[in-house]
Amino acid sequence: MQRSLFLLIVLLAATGWGQQSSTTPSLPAAPFSQRLPSKETVESFMKHWFGYDATITWQVAQIQPAEAAGFAQVVVAMEKGGQRQQMVLYITPDEKHAFTGEVIPFGADPFAPARKELATSTTGISRGPATAQLTVVEFSDLECPHCKQAQPIIDKLMGDFPKARLVFQQFPIEAAHPWAFKAASWGECIGRENNAAFWKFVNAVYDDQLNIDPQNADAKMKEHATAAGADAAKAATCAASPETAKAVRDSLEMGKQVGVTGTPTVFLNGRKISAITTIPYETLKDLTHFAESQGPK
């Protein structure tokens, strides 16, 4: 994504550790009974900050308790000139201040809570041995251009770590990507029936992103499912079912539990990488080697 929208977000605060998503929780969750800012308050806040530019649009995607006790977390999908970006805000308990950036986990083993949650809750399509020393969990949105850019990096990483296990978790961000949920549903169904076809389908959808829209999404999904070697008719029926919709929503909720607010987000044995496309590959390999050496615990 180009920098222009990022520069607008910097009006609020300096960029944190990650650029595409933020928040890796390890602190106790705030009680859901806490007071949260209303959608009206958030809308008014956004208007005061960004109302000077009529080309900037936004949608309040999420208001919920943050993992840091007492704080609220607000996710806003923003768009300017066809460029889309999520902004994550943390609101102080008195609702007088907000900060952006990334909250990172702390403790003797800071990645343990996410690692444990992912070990017990991942349901995505996977490849590699279940007993691997290294598990890479990828939360992705098939309409997300950052995810398209990240996929070759992840594929290269898995080639360099052939004993690792990769789990693909669907995380369609509907506020920004209108056909992403449909694509996730098709992917979920294809993966259940034909693992090899799933990975081909994912890459084909990424490659064709610019040609897919809400009106032709079903036809495009059918085309790519067939080309990948899947039973497109069976996948279409499955993708339209309430059970599949629930599976995708469950994947979204599980992602939120481990702090996913944007895509792509990748976990290396519980260590969150939220800006994989901006990390030098050799650094990414070092991080991966280190995560593998620590083992699944």
Give the residue, 213 or 20, on which the prediction is more confident: 213
Domain boundaries, the chain: 4-99, 112-294
**Which of 24-33, 88-97, 181-190 has the lowest average pLDDT?**
24-33
> What integer pLDDT is reported at residue 251 of this predicted model?
97
d(CA 45, CA 266): 31
pLDDT at 86: 79
**Of all residues in the chain, what percent carry a pLDDT higher than 70?**
88
Rounded Cα–Cα distance for residues 247 and 73 (Å): 24
Which residue in 154, 144, 174, 191 sits closest to 267, CA to CA? 154
Question: At the fourth CATH level, which superfamily is domain 112-294?
Answer: Glutaredoxin (3.40.30.10)
Q: What is the 3 state secondary structure string of 29-45?
A: CCCCCCCCCCHHHHHHH
Statement: residue 156 has pLDDT above 50: yes
Contact 148, 204 (CB under 8 A): no
**3-class state of residue 124 by DSSP:** coil
For 193-252, write each residue's pLDDT tens digit: 999 999 999 999 999 999 999 999 999 999 999 999 999 999 999 999 999 999 999 999
Computed over every residue of the chain, the mean pLDDT equals 87
Confidence of residue 13 (pLDDT cuts 50, 70, 90): very low
Of residues 6 and 136, which shows the higher confidence score?
Answer: 136
For residue 191, what are the contacts with CB-CB under 8 A and spacing of at least 6?
124, 125, 168, 197, 198
In contact, 130 and 42? CB cutoff 8 Å:
no
Residue 34 has pLDDT above 80, yes or no: no
> What are the pLDDT digits (tens) for 79-128?
888 887 878 899 999 999 998 877 788 899 999 999 999 999 999 999 99
pLDDT of residue 296: 81
% of the chain beyond a pLDDT of 90: 70
CA trace torsion 252, 254, 256, 258 (10° rounding): -140
Which phi-psi region, left, alpha or beta, contains residue 82 (left: φ > 0; alpha: ψ -120 to 50)? left
Q: How many other C-beta atoms can be found within 10 angstroms of the C-beta atom of residue 280?
A: 8
Does the pLDDT value for residue 22 go beyond 80? no
> Which band of pLDDT confidence, cut at 50, 70 and 90, is reported for residue 5?
low
